[in-house]
Chains A and B, each alone.
Chain A
Amino acid sequence: MKHTLSVLVENKPGVLTRVAGLFARRGFNIDSLVVAETENQAVSRMTITVDEQDQPLEQVTKQLHKLINVLKITDLDPAGSVERELLLIKVKADAVSRSAIMQIVEIFRAKIVDVSPEVLIIEMTGAREKVSAFMELMAPFGVVELMRTGRMAMSRGRRAT
């Protein structure tokens, strides 16, 4: 099962290296990783997706906790959290296919952010499954390139993540 770990770390040089280095050294795999500052400049949040099948999750979190710069780790329960990924996808679009693409964009509440004679760039956000479904529907049109941010997640309700 995939787990989303929300890891608060001190916003200092080298902290990402320490976290990534720990995963490498212990042979843990990272599925995706999102890092950015939080509302507090001194603190960054890393949202790390790992597969429990590849490694015991308990070891991952315990070893992470031992890093001096790690402040807090939350293992987000999918039901209790809102999870999002951002996708940018460049698809081939000629006069014939364009309207079909736009229909799908509409249904998925995605957004066309760049238009040129042969291609469109589409931006969409959503949970991982939704993003994947959208990508599948785009595939027949011809995907020129695509980028995904990896998963972000926030716990529902008043409780901080």
Chain B
Amino acid sequence: MRAANVILEALKREGVDTIFGFPGGVLLPLYDALYDSDINHILARHEQGAGHAADGYARASGKVGVCLATSGPGATNLVTAIANAYMDSVPVVAITGQVSRHLIGLDSFQEADVTGITLPIVKHSYLVKDAGTLPRIIREAFYIAGTGRPGPVVIDIPVDVTKEDIDFDPEVLPAMQLPGYKPTLKGHPKQIKEAARLIAAAERPVIYAGGGVIISGASEELRELAFYGHIPVTTTLTGKGCFPEDHHLSMGMLGMHGTQYANYAVSKADLIIAVGVRFDDRVTGNLTTFAPEARFIHIDLDPAEISKNVAVDVPIVGDAKRVLAALLVEVKKLELSADRHLPWMEQVEAWKRDHPLVIRESESGEIMPEAAVRTIWQVTKGEAVVCTEVGQNQMWAAQHYLSRQPRRFISSGGLGTMGFGFPAAIGAQVALPDALVVDIAGDGSFQMTVQELATAVQYRLPVKVCILNNQYLGMVRQWQELFWNKRYSETCIECQPDFVKLAEAYGAEGYRAVRPEELEEVLRTAFATDKPAVIDIRIKREANVFPMIPAGGSVHDMMEREP
């Protein structure tokens, strides 16, 4: 069988039904094979869009996302998307075309050293030199991408390889050759016992849960532990939805723009149960003042995350789902009473009551961003799949779109990639055709991947882009306002397209909301159509995100509201 066809057959064997890609010279054999294949191909309008779509698809579905780009500029356009998937541990297989084997290393037309360029941002990569190894390499790539701590795997395939004829039997699984790859799944029983003991003894426990809980599918186990132990839960940005945010034990997000009560609770906790998190600097701020009174239990699949940033008392390397299930068994043996830390629960409740997230009323007839997000939340009954761009829009979305389920809040956490949300929403919509998928966007970010409107229209993917339009690179402007004497250097982007007309030009629908009283109706109309829609929501231009702990600061430096 022709190697190009073998690639597609091998992908199908891995359960792939959709690829996001963009063709080019060295991909001609592969795209020719695709012409007759039953694999769905979604033609993005930029390889970055294809990469983020594969990422969004993976996050929404839990499956491995696949993207495809040609050699040279096609592959380099994919780099941001690969880095994004790497930082948030998203399983993506990125297939890139490469120049023919005899042309590699000669600065040939559209040659780029893709495995070299992507080396620091992949979980693993392959340059295929021998067509016969393709079935094994593809199998390994999916296995590596999707197991352990997931991540992107690049397979770079020279064009002449794809034209060769090789033996292929779809029934015969090639043996993997990965002697050095053995993710630890089961936590150490002694450590789990010790963790249970600490939980039973704790007077002020807090669960700090992150993306790892979602990846592991451990939301149920996490919930049970929190319920049984009456332990308040705070999550990271990527952990949003692993615990229902409308539950009274939820404290929402912690960190730089987290809720005051989550940050207060962490700062006073005597035990932090960290699950599937990496103590990122946006969460901890100044490490020396982070949870100063607490002992730490840290559950993570990746041994390298343990004690990377914070020295922990009880490290447990293992899959969150399995470890939490085992931990719950141990905790139950200790028969915790419901009222054993009543004062702590009351304290958390008091913080919540006294320092809630504020949804400001509009003073000047302008739409306030928090209110806009709350309205989106109400209109969608909290059931939309929400993607975000990066900046203030992302933080407002994280604070005010309460998530109830895992894999329903998709945001670029680690890399903070403007332009991620919209193509990711396209990928999520492909994964969940019946879901309402909303990208809560910024005007700056949306312009970075706006060309994917054509993709959404072509494939009838009714994604809704809600631009919180402040005509600013708002988050950078906020820092300039607060820390750089209001010198708004290059952050004012008043020169921008008419987003309504732009949407219409692409064949999507365009809406605009300027006054608070019209927003709900506009949203209802836009969400009801079966077409992609862009909603230009004009918000108060200089609204800021609060609360805020400045970078590297501690809970004492928190700014609660506009100064």
**A contact set with B: CB distance below 8 Å:** 9-10, 13-14, 17-18, 21-22, 25, 58-59, 62-63, 65-71
Contacts and interface: CB of A to CB of B under 8 A. Distances in A.
Interface string B282-308: 000000000000000000001110111
B302 A68 contact: no
A39 B305 CA distance: 34
Contacts of A67: 180
Nearest to B126: A14
Q: Top 9 closest A-B pairs, CB basis?
A: A62-B304, A71-B180, A25-B120, A68-B124, A21-B119, A68-B181, A62-B303, A70-B180, A63-B304
A49 B178 CA distance: 26
A67 B307 CA distance: 19
Interface in B81-127: 115-116, 119-120, 123-124, 127
B144 interface: yes
A59 B308 CA distance: 7
Contact of B179 (A13, A66, A71): A71
Kindly state the interface size class of chain B when it binds its partner: 10 to 19
A22 B124 CA distance: 12
Contact of A18 (B119, B127, B181, B307): B119
Contacts of B181: 68
A14 B123 CA distance: 14
A22 B179 CA distance: 20
A25 B119 CA distance: 10
Interface string B168-195: 0000000000111100000000000000
Contact of B304 (A18, A66, A68): A66
27 contacts: A9-B180, A10-B180, A13-B127, A14-B115, A14-B127, A17-B116, A17-B119, A22-B120, A25-B120, A58-B307, A59-B304, A59-B308, A62-B303, A62-B304, A62-B306, A63-B304, A65-B303, A66-B302, A66-B304, A68-B123, A68-B124, A68-B178, A68-B180, A69-B180, A70-B180, A71-B179, A71-B180
A13 to B, nearest CB: 8
Nearest to B125: A14
Contact of A21 (B120, B127, B303): B120
Contacts of A13: 127
A98 B116 CA distance: 50
A71 B179 CA distance: 7
Nearest to A25: B120
A13 B115 CA distance: 12
A65 B123 CA distance: 12
Main secondary structure of the interface of A (DSSP, over half): helix
Contacts of B124: 68
Contacts of B180: 9-10, 67-71
Interface in B117-170: 119-120, 123-124, 127, 144
Contacts of B116: 17
A68 B144 contact: yes
A104 B115 CA distance: 50
Interface string B306-330: 1110000000000000000000000
B232 to A, nearest CB: 31
Contacts of B120: 21-22, 25
A70 B179 CA distance: 9
B85 to A, nearest CB: 16
A123 B36 CA distance: 66
A123 B119 CA distance: 38
B122 to A, nearest CB: 10
Nearest to B151: A66
A69 to B, nearest CB: 6
B359 to A, nearest CB: 42
B83 to A, nearest CB: 12
Given A18-B119, A59-B308, A63-B304, 4 more contacts: A21-B120, A66-B302, A68-B178, A71-B179
Contacts of A69: 180
Contacts of A18: 119
Contacts of A65: 303-304
B514 to A, nearest CB: 47
B553 to A, nearest CB: 24
A11 to B, nearest CB: 12
Nearest to A62: B304
Contacts of B304: 59, 62-63, 65-66
A21 B304 CA distance: 17
Query: Which of B144, B302, B304 has the most chain A CB atoms closer than 10 A to its own CB?
Result: B304
A71 B124 CA distance: 15
A18 B303 CA distance: 19
Contacts of A14: 115, 127
A9 B127 CA distance: 18
Nearest to B178: A68
A69 B181 CA distance: 8
A30 B212 CA distance: 32
A133 B303 CA distance: 40
A148 B179 CA distance: 33
A71 B178 CA distance: 9
A17 B120 CA distance: 10
A12 B302 CA distance: 25
A97 to B, nearest CB: 48
